[in-house]
DNA sequence: ACCTGAACACCGTTCAAGT
DNA sequence: ACCTGAACACCGTTCAAGT
């Protein structure tokens, strides 16, 4: 493992200052790059430190341990995800069904654009309080959109709990299939992500929408 | 990491024979147990060897390297998954829509019952030829069920490619949510898996079924 | 306040030697 | 044919010492 880093690739770039400046951020970015290269368990604190040009012990001034570094990556990703879902729903207008759809599409778009972030965010061993709270709050938002749609009569009159979970699951499944390489294994390239996502969401959207 | 194994837990169980007997299988089971305890990157060949009561080098007579051990776990899981989906579709009768539904429910049931298998099977860094082929073949089976349903007029007349991907994504999403702890984070326990799954599948099934 | 560098106990992997 | 045990180069983490 890590045979690739035989002092050729990320050789210690010298810095002129004794202090790094923003080692915390550099470690987060380094970890993300290593996830992209080798997956979550290919992340090495030492290797990220090497690429940042610091000694092996330096990162531990910023993170208590490796899992805290990963948690920082996850939390960074969650902030970006929430921001882009927020923007998408705002731009989507007033209809709750439209807003729900926009949220879902934004979710998948994020996963395709930031698969390493996405993967780290969803490693169960790492997801602690803050992350779970954020996820719960966006599910709460989904649920209120579902209920509003039902009140307005645009969404079918089923258990809103189930409708919310179902919507989440569909969108999570599409995102995960891109991230886990199941789409590309079947010839669906990332460039078709947007089109495939909207087609899928609209197809099953028929199941959610009130007939007539 | 692995502070828990301070010679207390899995202390070397002596065997009476010099040869283990079935080290290969023991390593697969040990790896699965470690995935359950610490996630996929908590798997250690040495620790699994220790628990099997063999020396650190022994496993390498059976697996070229760690990733080949993980691949064996994945392939073991895939066989079980295919078997139980096969059985479920057979028991489901003749209607393609019913068979499709049964396949999906069996998929989720497998994920909930064997989350460690499921996780290893879907680590993109590990999924090689045989696994991907198996996945592709079961998607092909799904697609032919969709097309048959459309011919018989029970399924809505949309792009069968999309309908297949959509069905896969929904079911993959539900499975993943259980495995990744997203359901339990929202108070949905594994014991409700069966009921929640069928409710979700039936809700979106409305989107797939032909109106009238 | 932040970083270095040596130290420690791990891990993956190899290989001569044992059974 | 399969396993042992020592070896090697890694990794996470700690900590005195440096800037």
Subunit contact B39:A182, Cβ cutoff 8 A: no
Strand, helix or coil at B209?
strand
Whole-number Å distance between alpha carbons of B57 and B39: 23
Subunit contact B181:A127, Cβ cutoff 8 A: yes
Cβ contacts (< 8 Å) between B204 and chain A: which residues?
166, 170, 204, 207-208
Q: What is the pLDDT of residue A101?
A: 97
Task: State yes or no: pLDDT of B114 exceeds 80.
Answer: yes
pLDDT, tens digit, for every residue of A2-28? 333 333 333 445 676 878 889 999 999
Subunit contact A200:B127, Cβ cutoff 8 A: no
How high does pLDDT run on average in chain A?
Answer: 91
Q: DSSP label at B4?
A: G
- Tell me which residues from 125 to 164 on chain A have a beta carbon below 7 angstroms from nucleic acid strand D: none
Q: Gap from B131 CA to D3 C1', in Å?
A: 31
Helix (H) or strand (E) holding A89: helix A66-91
Cβ contacts (< 8 Å) between A177 and chain B: which residues?
165, 168-169, 172
Task: State yes or no: pLDDT of B2 exceeds 60.
Answer: no
Cβ contacts (< 8 Å) between A174 and chain B: which residues?
169, 173
Q: What is the pLDDT of residue B203?
A: 94
Nearest nucleotide by C1' position to the A68 CA atom: D12
What own/partner pairs with CB < 8 Å and gap ≥ 24 does B72-75 have?
A: B72/B24, B72/B27, B72/B28, B73/B28, B73/B31, B73/B32, B73/B35, B73/B116, B73/B117, B73/B120, B74/B117, B74/B120, B74/B121, B74/B123, B74/B126, B74/B127, B74/B131, B75/B130, B75/B131
* Chain A / chain B CB contacts < 8 angstroms: 136
Residue of B nearest to A138 (CA): B186
pLDDT, tens digit, for every residue of A28-68? 999 999 999 999 999 999 999 999 999 999 999 999 999 99
Whole-number Å distance between alpha carbons of A132 and A128: 6
Compute and round to an integer the Cα radius of gyration of chain B: 20
When pLDDT is averaged across residues B70-83 and rounded to a whole number, the result is 97
Max alpha carbon distance in chain B (Å)?
A: 70
Task: State yes or no: pLDDT of B139 exceeds 70.
Answer: yes
pLDDT, tens digit, for every residue of B166-190? 999 999 999 999 999 999 988 999 9
Cβ contacts (< 8 Å) between B41 and chain A: which residues?
40-41
Best residue in B69, B137, B163, B169 for a mutation probing chain A (most A CBs within 10 Å):
B169
- What is the model's pTM? 0.93
Residue of A nearest to B41 (CA): A41
Q: Which of A135, A163, A203 sits opposite B207 (nearest CB)?
A: A203
Q: Is the CB of A9 under 7 A from strand D?
A: no
Chain D: positions less than 7 Å from a protein CB are 2-7, 10-16, 18-19
Residue of A nearest to B132 (CA): A185
When pLDDT is averaged across residues B28-44 and rounded to a whole number, the result is 97
Best residue in B74, B204, B205 for a mutation probing chain A (most A CBs within 10 Å):
B204
Instruction: Grade residue A212 by pLDDT with cuts at 50, 70 and 90.
Output: low
Q: Which residues, including other chains, have CB under 8 Å from residue B148's CB and lie 6 or more apart? A: B96
Q: Which of B123, B171, B205 sits opposite A207 (nearest CB)?
A: B205
Q: Which of A125, A170, A183 sits opposite B170 (nearest CB)?
A: A170
When pLDDT is averaged across residues B7-33 and rounded to a whole number, the result is 77
Subunit contact A125:B42, Cβ cutoff 8 A: yes
Q: Using the structure block, give the residue that is written with the tokens 């959109």.
A: A145
When pLDDT is averaged across residues B77-93 and rounded to a whole number, the result is 97
Give the gap in angstroms from C-alpha B11 to the nearest C-alpha of chain A.
Answer: 25
When pLDDT is averaged across residues B61-80 and rounded to a whole number, the result is 97
Give the gap in angstroms from C-alpha B138 to the nearest C-alpha of chain A.
Answer: 11
């Amino acid at each position: 493992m890590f045979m690739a880093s035989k002092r050729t690739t990320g050789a210690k770039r010298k810095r002129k200052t004794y202090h790094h400046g923003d080692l915390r951020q550099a470690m987060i970015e380094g970890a993300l790059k290593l996830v992209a290269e080798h997956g979550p368990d290919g992340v090495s604190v030492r290797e990220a430190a090497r690429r940042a040009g610091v000694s092996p012990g330096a990162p531990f001034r910023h993170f208590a341990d490796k899992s805290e570094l990963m948690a920082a990556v996850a939390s960074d990703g969650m902030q970006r995800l929430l921001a882009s879902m927020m923007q998408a729903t705002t731009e989507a207008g007033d209809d709750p069904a439209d807003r729900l759809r926009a949220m879902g599409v934004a979710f998948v778009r994020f996963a395709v654009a930031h698969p390493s972030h996405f993967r780290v965010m969803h490693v169960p061993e790492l997801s602690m309080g803050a992350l779970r709270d954020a996820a719960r709050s966006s599910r709460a938002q989904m649920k209120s959109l579902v209920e509003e749609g039902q009140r307005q009569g645009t969404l079918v009159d089923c258990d809103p709990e189930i409708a919310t979970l179902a919507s989440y699951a569909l969108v999570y499944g599409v995102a995960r299939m891109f991230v886990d390489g199941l789409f590309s294994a079947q010839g669906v390239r990332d460039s078709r992500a947007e089109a495939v996502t909207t087609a899928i969401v609209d197809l099953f959207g028929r199941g959610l929408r009130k007939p007539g």
